[in-house]
Chains A and B, each alone.
Chain A
Amino acid sequence: MTNAVSDYFRTIWKAISTIAIGLKTTFPHLFTPSVTLQYPDQKMKLPERVRNRLYVNIDDCIGCDQCSLACPVDCITIETIKSTPDQDLGVTSTGHKKRLHVPQFDIDIAKCCYCGLCVYPCPTECIVMTDVYEFSEYDRHNLVYNFSRMVPQDIETAKAKLKKAEEEAAAKKAAAAAAKAASADSAPGQSKPPAS
């Protein structure tokens, strides 16, 4: 009986004291500065080596395709056209000679998993991860970034030149082969079987 009575009063005391503790805890928080940021106006400082949107400095790209090979999700698509000896594509800022046209350098950033594996193999350090993280789009297709600056005309020209050069080379080769054949015909005993 006495136990029940003391329990009753203990319960009431517990309720009152815990309510007081609760109110005492929350009241000072009314005056503590907020921990949230007013996002579009204020932004959180990002870590120094943050990995966000990829950027390609296409002027430095030598079209080696190593980033595309390294990509675990295959979000980088690169197409190259060989340059002909008469064209000079210049050198990259790191001193590499550019030998390939890059008509297509697409990154599907929607697929990108921000692992940064494409950054390490690049010999000219032209593919980097920036700190830009606000790039939402209404259309998914807008997330495929085209970094190549070659217009269709340039691509046609480069392709035509390469074709011409290849044809010329083939013609030269044929001519050389013909010449060889002719010389072989004139001296059949000295001819050797062609190397496999």
Chain B
Amino acid sequence: MEELLRSIPILGESILLYLVLAALPLVFMLLYALVTVWVEMKVSAHIQDRLAYMRTGPHGVAQPIADVLKLLQKENTVPATADKFLHALSPYLVFAGTYGAFAAIPFSSAYIGSNIDLGVFYLVAVSSIVVVGILMAGWASNNKWSLFGAVRSAAQIISYEIPAALAILVAVMISESLNLQVVSRLQQGGIQDWIVFGGALPLTQKLLVMPFTIIAFLMLLIAGIAEVNRTPFDLPEAESELVQGYNTEYSGMRFAVFYMAEYANMFVVAAIAASLFLGGWASPFGEFLSGPIWGFVWIVAKGMFIVFVQIWVRWTLPRLRVDQLMYTAWKVMIPALFLCVFAVGLILVL
């Protein structure tokens, strides 16, 4: 990708080249958010035997665009007692944390924002910036609902980072790399080489490791849903309890930025899970349908499948209580994942 852009004369060796490279995930993110908002509404409606948007274009495909236009026109209200500076800053901080995560996601064998060796570590670290932004939003709004939502969000995300990191560790132990590009390349052999099915290990090791990798993959999905604050882990914005949680006091474009960050975060979580366990941009048929462009199609397809699962779960399960949330993280997921890490390590050593 970099070589391709370098061949365009205007870009050449200039800083513009890197600006274009950096803007590519942003373009993807905007388009993805529009599609996912529509998909979310459609899936939620069809699960409830309704139809959702039907008026704007065929089956309401233009509705997300209409929503964005509406939000752009809306007044940007700031509460009189709010901390104006932090209130204005927090949506962009949340967005920056999410956008930062896109840098280390391998979109195809030819494109990754930053091909760093500590890619997975960087992703785990940078996605925690979102917590700071959410806490900031809750605190700056000077509203009880917002603060409750923010505190819950912080408690929840910090709790669920641990199982997420442990689940990632299982995949990293098998692939022996923290670079997602390398991890994806290791899974190129086809569906049987995906780490969720034990990776490219010898057969006996693979079969022994498989139950643990499947558990780790499912745990990563669960922790991912919790990290993006979605039902059944949507306590930070529990509509029935906290109005709208940390973004209660936001309107107009700032609300839209929060909203988009949430949807983009869903894809980050999905892309991490897809890259680590489902082969990333690698084709499930080995050499067939592989290549840089197909790679992009595959990772987006895998990511969107996980996003669909997140939506499906959201419209199926009710919200957890706070104690149930903590119980799930600390008493179930973390012990189970420690067991997985221990078992996988033992199998790999032997």
- Name A's B-contacting residues (CB within 8 A): 8, 12, 15, 19, 22-23, 25-27, 29-36, 38
Contact = CB atoms under 8 A, between A and B. Distances in A.
Contacts of A12: 332
B323 interface: no
B117 to A, nearest CB: 36
26 contacts: A8-B331, A15-B328, A19-B313, A19-B317, A22-B317, A23-B312, A23-B316, A25-B316, A26-B312, A26-B315, A29-B46, A29-B47, A29-B48, A29-B49, A30-B43, A30-B46, A30-B47, A32-B46, A33-B49, A35-B49, A35-B50, A36-B49, A36-B50, A36-B51, A38-B51, A38-B54
B316 A26 contact: yes
Closest 3 CB pairs of A and B: A26-B316, A22-B316, A34-B51
Contacts of A31: 46
Interface string B121-148: 0000000000000000000000000000
Interface in B87-118: none
Contact of A34 (B50, B312, B331): B50
A25 B312 CA distance: 11
Nearest to B324: A15
Interface in B191-220: none
Nearest to A34: B51
Contacts of A27: 312
Contacts of B43: 30
Interface string B12-44: 000000000000000000000000000000010
Nearest to B313: A23
Contacts of A33: 49
A15 B329 CA distance: 13
Nearest to A16: B218
A156 B328 CA distance: 86
Given A29-B47, A30-B47, A38-B51, 20 more contacts: A8-B331, A19-B316, A22-B316, A22-B317, A23-B316, A25-B316, A26-B47, A26-B312, A26-B315, A26-B316, A29-B46, A29-B48, A29-B49, A30-B43, A31-B46, A32-B49, A34-B49, A34-B50, A34-B51, A38-B54
B349 to A, nearest CB: 28
A12 B218 CA distance: 14
B339 to A, nearest CB: 13
A65 to B, nearest CB: 48
Interface string B42-73: 01011111110010000000000000000000
Among B45, B316, B331, the one with the most A-chain Cβ atoms within 10 Å of its Cβ is B316
Interface in B311-350: 312-313, 315-317, 328, 331-332
A35 B332 CA distance: 40
B129 to A, nearest CB: 30
A47 B51 CA distance: 25
